[in-house]
Each structure stands twice: as C-alpha cells, then as structure tokens.
Structure 1
C-alpha cells in the first residue's frame, strides 16, 4: 500500500512529534547514562527505546499514553539498574560482565581470546586502530564490558593502575609498583 488516508499521516505527525518530545525530555531528566553504551543492559535500553518510539509512531494500536508509559518504564528500569550497580558492587558483578585482559606486555593471552571469542586478527585490528604497528610495544589490550577493545601502549602503561578492575591485570604489573 502506498497510501491509506490523510488521517493516518496526521496521526504519525502528531503522535510522532509528541512522542519525540517526551523521549527527549525523559533522556534529559534521566541523564547521559541512559544512552551510554557501558554494558549490555545499556545497549538493550537504547535499542528498546528506539523500537518503542517506532512502535508509537507507526502502530495505531498503541496510544500515545501507552507509548509514553513504555518509554518511562524503560528509562526507569535503566535508572534502577544503574543506581543498583553503582551502590552495590556485588550486583555489578551479576548484571555486567567484567573486563578481560587479552594481551599483556606484547603477549597474547590465547585462552582469554578463546573464552571471549575474539580472533587474533580482531585483536591486531584494535592494535592497528590505536596507531600501534608493533604488538610487542603494546602494554595491554582489554575487552571492556561494553564489547569495545581498549589498547594501552607500553609507553603509557605506567603503574597499570587503570587496569585495577581488570581480573588478572593487578598481579601482572611491574615489581615494586603499587596498584590503586
């Protein structure tokens, strides 16, 4: 179908504009964390918000009030998860994945690659994207909880205190260097 009725187009314009305004207000009130891609839950909320907005826009079976309530629910649940994980470290371990050390001081951790299903070529790609051309000059590569790869050059590793929350990294630092 190319066209049904002018009323349908008017509904999309009216409901779409008001749903968009509602979403923008919710996102401003809830803060930057709502759309940050810090972990899998954040990604799910971002995708769900987009899907909900599309449903509000295109489905005449969903009223604006129902759609707005769905947006409020998603943002509210995201705030509860964020609040919980920032206040109780044990809940963070349950709800989010820990970062994984994939490379340490130029040595690839093959078992970590296998466990995390990251190929050596993906690891090298991240190293290249960081501007490094020599894996032996990389201090660490970490698979973060959001799925991104962080590359720390050997020259920037310092005491490796930025890796304090990466399992296995704290006991891999230079002798005599203290961990934060």
Structure 2
C-alpha cells in the first residue's frame, strides 16, 4: 500500500507493454476463433466473455505471465468451441448446454408457470411491450424470453389465423 499513486517508471512502462501485447493477443485469438466467441447465445457464452475479460485484466496488470495468460485464453476459447460443437452434434448436449426460449404471454394470457420459472413479472412484460411501441396487450400475439435473456414481443399479424399460432413462433412449448 506504500505506492498508491506511483511506484516507478519501469513499472508503468511494463504495464503499458503488457496491456498492448495482451490486448493484441486476445484480439488475434478472437479474430481466429470467430464471432461465436463473443456471442451471447447462452449462459456458457456469457461466462466465456467474462472469463476472457478477467484473464485479459490479469495479463495487463502482470498478475500472471504472458505465457500463462495466453494458455488460459486458448483453453477458454477451445472449451467454448468444443461445447459449441458438442451442442451442434447432439440434441441432448444442446439441451444441457443451452436454454430454450419460453413463452411468457400468449394471445393475451399470461403463462404464470413460465413467468414464475423465469422470475418475470407482469410489469416487466408490460414494460417490454411498451418499448415495442404497443399500447395494449391485445396487439400482442406472444411474449417470449429468449435463451440469452432478452424478451421478444411478437405482434399480431393483422388477425390472420395462419400467422397467429404457437407453431409459427418456433418456441418448444408454452411452459
């Protein structure tokens, strides 16, 4: 705690160099690994993003060596890639690793069991509907919580029966 504001110039330059090298290394790894690395499709993708940021901070502050940090970054990105491949290859793994969308409101009826499981209130659903520019629930076919936690509002499609069915929402079930 002796050096609160300044230790020495060597330490400052070391932090600058580590920040530059670490940032460039992560940037290159993300470009190589593809867009999925920073996507927010599911909980695992969120964890990957947080973990990458944490490792980058430790590397920048020289709390771990560059080599250690690089290996951890490679491991995190590799695990994310492996889990994405497993999820794609197996429906069972997909169900284990990824959340499913869930209906919260359908044709004016709140699905209380779904709302309870997702810890969503009627007021939160109203707020999302208002953000979509809709004044009343009667204009809404469905409200769905997506796997990434976002809430989607699907407007009624001019009253057409063929467009106003749960099958067209591509949501597994009502609960």
The question of a shared fold, defined as TM-score above 0.5 by the shorter chain, is answered with: yes
**Over the residues paired in the alignment, what is the CA RMSD in angstroms?**
1.7
Q: Which runs of 4+ in 1 moved over 4 A?
A: 159-162
Match of 2:8 in 1: 5
| 1:161 CA displacement | 4.8
| 1:152 CA displacement | 0.5
Match of 1:164 in 2: 170
| Contact 1:105 1:136 (C-alpha < 8 Å) held by counterparts | yes
Match of 1:33 in 2: 36
Secondary structure of 1:155's counterpart equals coil
Match of 2:134 in 1: 132
Is 1:91 aligned to 2:93, yes or no?
A: yes
Residue by residue over 1:72-114, the C-alpha shift from the partner in whole angstroms, topping out at 9 and shown as x without a partner, is: 1111111111111112111011112211110101211122111
In 1, distance between residues paired with 2:19 and 2:118? 41
Q: Which consecutive unaligned segments of at least 5 residues does structure 2 have?
A: none
Match of 1:174 in 2: none
Match of 2:114 in 1: 112
In 2, distance between residues paired with 1:75 and 1:163? 32
In 1, distance between residues paired with 2:38 and 2:101? 20
Aligned residues: 168
Taking CA–CA contacts closer than 8 Å with sequence separation of 6 or more, which of the two structures ends up with the larger relative contact order? Answer: 2
Q: Residues 57-76 of structure 1 correspond to what in structure 2 (within 5 A)?
A: 57-58=60-61, 60-76=62-78
Q: TM-score, normalised by structure 2?
A: 0.89
In 2, distance between residues paired with 1:86 and 1:154? 32
In 1, distance between residues paired with 2:39 and 2:73? 16
| Contact 1:98 1:167 (C-alpha < 8 Å) held by counterparts | no
Q: TM-score, normalised by structure 1?
A: 0.87
| Contact 1:141 1:152 (C-alpha < 8 Å) held by counterparts | yes
| 1:148 CA displacement | 0.7
Match of 1:101 in 2: 103
Match of 1:149 in 2: 151
| Contact 1:35 1:42 (C-alpha < 8 Å) held by counterparts | yes
In 1, distance between residues paired with 2:38 and 2:168? 24
